[in-house]
Structure 1
Amino acid sequence: MPNAFAYLMLMIWPVACVVMFRRMGIERAIIWAILGGYLLLPPRAVFDLPLVPDFNKTSIPNLCALACCLWVAKRRVPIWPESRVMKVLLFLFLAGTIPTVLTNTDPILFYSVFDAEPVSFVTGGLPGLRIIDVLSVGSQQAITLIPFVLGRAFLSSQTGQRELLLALLVGGLVYSLPALLEIRLSPQINIWVYGFFQHDFGQMMRQGGFRPIVFLPHGLWMAFFFMTSAAAAAVLFRMADRKSRPRLLAATGYLFCVLILCKSLGPLAYGIAVVPAILLAAPKVQIRIAVVFAGIAVLYPVLRDYGLVPLDRILGWAEAIHPDRAQSLGFRFQNEELLLERAHEKWMFGWGGWGRNLVHDLTTGEIISIPDGEWIIVFGTFGWLGYLSKMGLLAVPLFLLLRHARHDRPTRTVAALALILAITLIDMLVNAILTPYTWLIAGAVLGYTESARRQEAKDDSHLRPKAGRPGLAKPLIG
């Protein structure tokens, strides 16, 4: 159980956000209000109030960042994107919770049947959703979108995107110190500070050592954060002047070494792919790679459903690396099969919350499936409508960016952020790793494409010939 200090940290974070917004520029304040909360606040500690979403390390920073933008910085925060496709996706993401609730008002009961007599007894059950849950679920969706909205509004410029990359770099460098301590001593910091361990300790043991976790939900989240930090350091190195380049190159190498020490194969493979691409490839090439990754992520459920994903070959590759990795991946695939079959029963709007999307023993009600990938959790909970709207909000900005890149030269900052966003979409196929700073990145990419489109329209208007005044004709020559 979290100690009193854990709840005190949640309560004082709004004060910290007000201080940041008064002393920093709005871009930096938004980033650190959200990213700082993600890195520092206690996991699993929550204020659970009736009829409203949980107040935890995700929702509190999101709400505080929005409130400070409105009332401390006194800035207008536009909500609706300019693209029609994005408007539809945003609307479906928020309003799609209504049919999910309305189609799941029936409880799910578990029975014990006796063969000797035609009698069955209810041994347990899951509650049906109430109409009033529309407010709670819809509010949770809206809170989730706050970083996306703020990133689009305030991080679309190269300055804002550079601040985001710099924050990822600084956060990685600072967080590496407790991470290295846990690699050496074992994951203990969350216990020392907040009084509990947030996950299964056995999963933090690997290769005769330990994987760090600090204040994040899992060691995989920690490794993935160091991957994004190394990528941020790499792009800042590419953009730096001659004086700063040696330090940024050293930071890139150092963060990559910490990533290796995290002993997580997936994030390490992403780092091997992303960091060299940032260092060697042109921005347009990076964006093309990002779009390919995004396309794979969005189409994966369809390919998976029709048996077009070569699972045996993927498991063979994992087996060649290490038998334990193949066993872990095979376990995920088996659970995906169970959850996918369950999701098909309510494929359009999903099963809703309360664990209704999971597979249970029909007699005891015991959960017999473990969801890992973000995609199967969203698909089972909100159906195709929820999946397409959520993945669309994250992936469509990359396709819009590709369309812009065909006509103009994109910046290195937006290309690197696009690559980080795309690799996150790939990882969401196997892990529920969608974080608040991922939404910030997606919003920043979308805001950049909208700003570029407005600039293109402005330039075209200057080139377009002006119509003559009525009643006057140009003289003919010849």
Structure 2
Amino acid sequence: MTPQAQLIMLAWLPIVIFLFLQFSPRKAVIISFLVAWLFLPQRAGFIIPGLPDYTRISATCYSIFFLSFFFDSQRFTRFKLTWLDLPMLILCICPFFSSISNGLGPYDGLSQTLSQTVTYGLPYFIGRLYFSDLVGLRQLAISIFISGLIYLPLCLYEIRMSPQLHRMVYGYFAHSFAQTIRYGGFRPTVFMLHGLEVGMWMMAVTLIGIWLWQAKVIKKVRGIPMQWILVSLLITFVLIKSTGAYGYLVFGIIILFIAKWFRSNVPLLVLIISIALYLGLASTGNFSTKNAEPLLTTIYNTVGEDRAGSLEYRLDNEEILVEKALERPIFGWGGWGRSRVYDYNWEGVLVDISTTDSLWIIIYGDRGILGLTSLYASFLLPVFIFATRRYPPKFWFHPQVAPAAVLSVVIVLYMVDNTLNALLNPIFIVVSGGMTGLVVQVPKKSKSAKKLSSRSNKMLPKTSRNTSS
């Protein structure tokens, strides 16, 4: 870690204090999360003896959490734990049981629990506090969209000049430079860890922008028509060269426009159920590379040998990792690489022969079925309730509901990506917390939805006027 990276990590807390002094707490939270995750240095932090490491994720979450409590303590007193918060609560505490069941001791269990709480629990809790209504989710969606416009020229620079911004600002590469070369050009990383993370973020930005434009939530940005902005976003997104993200964007558009034209949430529900079925089969050892041969053949014929080979390699590794995980299926193996697969090489040295690319297999191996189920339930269950019981598709095109609707689709696509990759993004966890708060605050017979339905014609002209962001 270079001196400039150390300096910005030390300066981050004063920066967040300044933001809370300048803006309302909700706006300060949004800006802090976005700036932190889009611009703070990668692989930077400090090891503090006797305390949790001060890393990028802990610096982001601790500073926002404590300053929110200091500047807006009344919001904390109004918080009420609900049954829909249980999956996230279980996800945060399950590392303790994993450590105890593996004989690693209570200290290790508490340390692992604290780490997982900071990573998942704090962003989720902050989302529950500040974005548990349609207004909060609207502000969050618009802010994510604007952040993508800020990232757009940076992506274009690195597409042309190669991923150099992190090195130029912080003095070192965030990741392997070889992995930034794709299809005869460069895949930008900007200040994120990997080009795949940039691709997923810009996919979310583009999908949000398309839907906010279609729902007339935003017509212009600084006087520029949204049509031209979206064209620029789409061109940049294609140039990022993230083939998986291309598929996510297409499927997201299909989900939203089928909801608009046919008032149907079937594609979204099919996607959620497909994730659950895949995890159920894969985690029990009933899914193998042979089952995926038709998909691999399709990818080989449409995208190329490299992408098909990459997916096949991941599936092969997941097979041996699942076999290891099934030895301790309930609570997993705990941390410290115990869930990985080891064998002796030709020199007689015990080496790690496995590769963990997917978040689901990492969580399953470390935390068992308890951790895996709670992780996916905390993201997918609120979306399922939102789409089926609280705000059916007929409301998704309404300017008040449209931001929450598109964020719900983004969350599902993010969890699809986590079946292939392991790219943590706390902003998506914040969104999940906000979605949970939204669906638990609406009564069983959605009064909000009825209100929107009865007043839709009256309210639409008022709420669909031009928005300058």
TM-score, normalised relative to structure 2: 0.86
Structure 1 residue 278, shift from structure 2 partner: 3.6
Change (3 A) 1:196 1:287: farther
Correspondence for 1:95? 93
Specify the SS of the correspondent of 1:361: strand
In structure 2, distance between residues paired with 1:11 and 1:298: 42
Check whether the contact 1:220–1:264 (CA below 8 A) recurs between aligned residues. Answer: yes
Correspondence for 1:418? 408
Check whether the contact 2:265–2:393 (CA below 8 A) recurs between aligned residues. Answer: no
In structure 2, distance between residues paired with 1:458 and 1:328: 46
Correspondence for 2:230? 252
Task: Say whether 1:222 aligns with 2:198.
Answer: yes
In structure 2, distance between residues paired with 1:394 and 1:283: 26
Segment of structure 1 superposing worse, 348-357 or 42-51: 42-51
Structure 1 residue 418, shift from structure 2 partner: 0.6
In structure 1, distance between residues paired with 2:448 and 2:143: 32
Task: Say whether 1:66 aligns with 2:44.
Answer: no
Task: Say whether 1:315 aligns with 2:293.
Answer: no
Check whether the contact 1:161–1:414 (CA below 8 A) recurs between aligned residues. Answer: yes
Correspondence for 2:421? 431
Structure 1 residue 459, shift from structure 2 partner: 11
In structure 1, distance between residues paired with 2:258 and 2:162: 36
In structure 2, distance between residues paired with 1:80 and 1:381: 31
Correspondence for 1:104? 102
Change (3 A) 1:242 1:80: closer
Please list every run of 5 or more consecutive structure 2 residues that lacks an aligned counterpart in the other structure: 451-469
Correspondence for 1:342? 324
Structure 1 residue 325, shift from structure 2 partner: 0.8
Superposed CA deviations along residues 182-231 of structure 1, whole A, max 9, x for unmatched, are 11111111111112112221111111111000111110001111001101
Task: Say whether 1:9 aligns with 2:4.
Answer: no
The correspondence for 1:160, drawn from 127, 130, 136, is: 136
Superposed CA deviations along residues 47-79 of structure 1, whole A, max 9, x for unmatched, are 122444332221211111111111023343269
Check whether the contact 1:148–1:442 (CA below 8 A) recurs between aligned residues. Answer: yes
In structure 2, distance between residues paired with 1:293 and 1:78: 37
Supply the AA of the counterpart residue of 1:65. I
Structure 1 residue 19, shift from structure 2 partner: 1.5
Structure 1 residue 285, shift from structure 2 partner: 4.9
- Alignment map for 1:377-416 (pairs within 5 Å): 377-401=362-386, 402-406=388-392, 409=395, 411-416=401-406
Segment of structure 1 superposing worse, 449-458 or 373-382: 449-458
Check whether the contact 1:70–1:77 (CA below 8 A) recurs between aligned residues. Answer: yes
The correspondence for 1:199, drawn from 169, 175, 183, is: 175
Check whether the contact 2:359–2:422 (CA below 8 A) recurs between aligned residues. Answer: yes
The correspondence for 1:367, drawn from 346, 349, 352, is: 352
Check whether the contact 1:44–1:198 (CA below 8 A) recurs between aligned residues. Answer: yes
Computing the radius of gyration over CA atoms, which structure comes out larger, 1 or 2? Answer: 1
Structure 1 residue 81, shift from structure 2 partner: 5.9
Supply the AA of the counterpart residue of 1:102. I
Change (3 A) 1:231 1:263: same
In structure 1, distance between residues paired with 2:310 and 2:166: 26
The correspondence for 1:233, drawn from 188, 209, 215, is: 209
Task: Say whether 1:44 aligns with 2:43.
Answer: yes
Change (3 A) 1:228 1:458: closer
Supply the AA of the counterpart residue of 1:34. F
Check whether the contact 1:21–1:73 (CA below 8 A) recurs between aligned residues. Answer: no
Supply the AA of the counterpart residue of 1:195. G
Please list every run of 5 or more consecutive structure 1 residues that lacks an aligned counterpart in the other structure: 106-128, 461-478
TM-score, normalised relative to structure 1: 0.85
Correspondence for 2:109? 134
Correspondence for 2:277? 299
**Which is bigger in relative contact order (C-alpha 8 A, separation at least 6)?**
2
Structure 1 residue 22, shift from structure 2 partner: 1.8
RMSD: 2.6
Correspondence for 2:454? none
Change (3 A) 1:280 1:347: closer
Correspondence for 1:325? 307
Specify the SS of the correspondent of 2:424: coil
Structure 1 residue 286, shift from structure 2 partner: 7.2
Check whether the contact 1:81–1:87 (CA below 8 A) recurs between aligned residues. Answer: no
In structure 2, distance between residues paired with 1:228 and 1:388: 24
Segment of structure 1 superposing worse, 52-61 or 170-179: 52-61
Superposed CA deviations along residues 88-119 of structure 1, whole A, max 9, x for unmatched, are 323322332222001223xxxxxxxxxxxxxx
In structure 2, distance between residues paired with 1:444 and 1:225: 18
Specify the SS of the correspondent of 1:96: helix
